[in-house]
Structure 1
Amino acid sequence: MKEENGASVFAPEKTQDYGEDPKAVRQSDKYVSEYVRGFVNKWDELIDWDARAKSEGRFFIDVLKARDKKSVLDVATGTGFHSIQLLKAGFDVTSADGSAEMLAMAFDNAKDNDLMLKTVHADWRWLNKDVHGKFDAIICLGNSFTHLHEEKDRRRALAEFYAALKHDGILILDQRNYDKILGGNDASKHKYYYCGDQVSAEPDYVDDTLARFKYSFPDGSEYFLNMFPLRKDYTRGLLRDVGFQQIHSYGDFQAEGEESDPDFFVHVAEKSYAE
């Protein structure tokens, strides 16, 4: 909304724009314009906070507490789900995101829960320019890391995460099971992540360097996200390359090997050497 001659005038709603060939849009900066206000306002319909909290349980809280971590930087805050869950559990949380629209929604969601978020608008590739201090843990959740389409950006972002962690810090990063999707099995159980009733989040187009997802809502509205399909072993390799010494991967919150067909992987990467 803006002021004109003393009167309030609502600015027109921005829409997603992928140009003439949406499948050709493969830039790391694109996510900023993908998260238009209309999409952000519907994001929590997609997640369903109550259902997601029930499906995840205490997984992230237990991982952090088992390693005696207290200060957490949430680099992909989105609408604030994980930041708020961790604040309620007693962690010292700083919430960052590259989308100003998402951060605004997260701040409002926190207020609705009688909480105050410490928010920072930051691009991962230059994270330490805007986020100061060292953290016990960094979380990058919600399949967010796949917004980076270029390898140099992925390596730069991970190096920034590594630098923002204390000497014994950990990074928790999740991703869709793109190995399954690239293999032609794009059916998702929607048991853990996108739990919203009558809301779909399905691949619209997939090749080796693009996963274009369509998000459909009960009112007939549709939105898209163009992401890079990260293979599990590739992601683990990047984490090793940047310096993480121990990497544990979980499929749908189960230990490696216990879940044969997960929708998501969660990687817990530690700077410390194994004792």
Structure 2
Amino acid sequence: MSFAPQKKQSYGADPNSIRESDKYTTEYVRGFVEKWDELIDWEERANSEGRFFIDVLKARQKQSVLDVATGTGFHSVQLLKAGFDVSSADGSAEMLAKAFENGVAHEVVLKTVHADWRWLNKDIHGKYDAIICLGNSFTHLHDEDDRRRALAEFYAALKHDGILIIDQRNYDTILDHGFSSKHKYYYCGNQVSAKPVYVDDGLARFEYSFPDGSKHNLNMFPLRKSYMRGLLRDAGFQKIHSYGDFQEEGEEKDPDFFIHVVEKEFCNE
């Protein structure tokens, strides 16, 4: 029996020039996907974020959730186990296959769909109480038109009182002061290094180094927090509440990640 050789990442002669949204489809090669959970460390990730997303959704009485950046399935599995009705989408077929495999290992069956955010409503059906877009995934979109189109698709896929939970790295600090990360909450694998090897206003090229000596890269757009919040307002969302590393703004000094909880309908608290 013969096996086809695994594909390798390819960025050409000048990796820093690759700034297209469609590149993500070839970045997540099988060898990288198979190592992704070493970077996350599911057990440590669950301990670090606790019930944050579960509590946010339950406090707003949301039940149906579309996980549009499923990755290897961590949040889909956590929410399914907490009793939510979850659909799991991703633009990477390799990631979806791994997510389904991880779901089976955790005794849940994921409802998966291969979908590009820019044409999301072509591939998913119905309206959802909530959409989650986590893991710094939105920064795969390098073009502003793509970002605006994706947010419009998210908005359209939500019920009238739906919410979007979307996160991003703290690129403000990376751009203004350089990179330093506690890796306390998101990427918890203590044997894996994740750091930018090149940064400018239009590109953050991250390198992921694993214990076996292998290295993989992702080219992402460094979203500033105020810019991201402006995009969300322009998309029609009425209320934006931002957190830093799961803490209220100001409680966590210089967080690694921002998490935006965004409501489609304005409601007085």
TM-score range, shorter chain: over 0.9
Q: Spell out the pairing of 1:44-83 with structure 2 (5 A cutoff).
A: 44-83=37-76
Q: Spell out the pairing of 1:85-104 with structure 2 (5 A cutoff).
A: 85-104=78-97
**Match for 1:242: what amino acid?**
A
Partner Cα distance (2:253, 2:37) in 1: 29
Task: Please state how far the C-alpha of 1:141 moved relative to its aligned partner.
Answer: 0.1
1:84 is matched with 77
Partner Cα distance (2:59, 2:86) in 1: 17
**Match for 1:136: what amino acid?**
D
Unmatched 5+ stretches in structure 1? 1-7
Q: Spell out the pairing of 1:1-275 with structure 2 (5 A cutoff).
A: 8-275=1-268
Partner Cα distance (1:115, 1:273) in 2: 35
Task: Please state how far the C-alpha of 1:9 moved relative to its aligned partner.
Answer: 2.0
Partner Cα distance (1:50, 1:114) in 2: 16
**Match for 1:120: what amino acid?**
V
Partner Cα distance (2:49, 2:251) in 1: 16
Partner Cα distance (1:172, 1:185) in 2: 27
Task: Please state how far the C-alpha of 1:221 moved relative to its aligned partner.
Answer: 0.2
Root-mean-square deviation over aligned CA pairs: 0.6
Task: Please state how far the C-alpha of 1:274 moved relative to its aligned partner.
Answer: 2.7
Count of aligned pairs between the two proteins: 268
**Match for 2:146: what amino acid?**
D
Partner Cα distance (1:49, 1:168) in 2: 31
**Match for 2:156: what amino acid?**
A
SS in 2 for 1:269: strand
Partner Cα distance (1:92, 1:30) in 2: 31
Task: Please state how far the C-alpha of 1:183 moved relative to its aligned partner.
Answer: 1.0
Partner Cα distance (2:87, 2:173) in 1: 33
Partner Cα distance (2:266, 2:244) in 1: 23
Under a length normalisation based on structure 2, what TM-score does the superposition of the two structures give? 0.99
User: Per-residue CA shift, 1:130-155, capped at 9, x if unaligned?
Assistant: 00100000000000000000000000
User: Per-residue CA shift, 1:45-99, capped at 9, x if unaligned?
Assistant: 0000000000000000000000000000000000000000000000000000000
Under a length normalisation based on structure 1, what TM-score does the superposition of the two structures give? 0.97
SS in 1 for 2:197: strand
Unmatched 5+ stretches in structure 2? none
Partner Cα distance (2:250, 2:237) in 1: 21
Task: Please state how far the C-alpha of 1:260 moved relative to its aligned partner.
Answer: 2.0
SS in 2 for 1:183: helix
Partner Cα distance (1:203, 1:152) in 2: 25
SS in 2 for 1:223: strand
SS in 2 for 1:211: strand
Partner Cα distance (1:13, 1:243) in 2: 43
User: Per-residue CA shift, 1:200-238, capped at 9, x if unaligned?
Assistant: 100110000000000000100000000000000000000
Percent identity, please.
Answer: 78
Task: Please state how far the C-alpha of 1:198 moved relative to its aligned partner.
Answer: 1.4
1:5 is matched with none
Partner Cα distance (1:274, 1:132) in 2: 26
Task: Please state how far the C-alpha of 1:257 moved relative to its aligned partner.
Answer: 1.8
